[in-house]
């Protein structure tokens, strides 16, 4: 990982991260301008986060997000 703005760690593309302003887990899709772009687990529309509001997801958080997505998909709530 390289150092990003504010001395924090810049998460690699493809890693799981938490947007601490919302608690949502997503995958890092890129770094555009001053923002980190995250996409929800299972796909969907990306959103921009301030680098200071993003941290690496724990294994527990990542597995919880994937399990929630798969459960919703099995109930037909996700296409």
Domains and CATH numbers, the chain: 2-71 (2.30.30)
Which long-range CB contacts under 8 A does 39-45 form with residues at least 24 apart?
40/69, 41/16, 41/65, 41/66, 41/68, 41/69, 42/66, 42/69, 42/70, 42/73, 42/78
Mean pLDDT computed over 52-70: 96
pTM confidence score: 0.82
pLDDT digits (tens, 9 = 90+) for 14-57: 999 999 999 999 999 999 999 999 999 999 999 999 999 999 99
Residue 8 confidence (pLDDT) above 50: yes
């Amino acid at each position: 990982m390289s150092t990003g703005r504010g001395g924090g760690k810049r998460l690699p593309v493809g890693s799981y991260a938490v947007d601490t302003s919302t608690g949502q887990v997503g995958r890092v899709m890129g770094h555009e301008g001053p923002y980190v772009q995250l996409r929800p687990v299972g796909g969907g529309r990306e959103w921009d986060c301030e680098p200071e509001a993003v941290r690496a997801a724990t294994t527990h958080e990542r597995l919880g997000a994937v399990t929630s997505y798969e459960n919703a998909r099995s109930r037909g709530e996700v296409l």
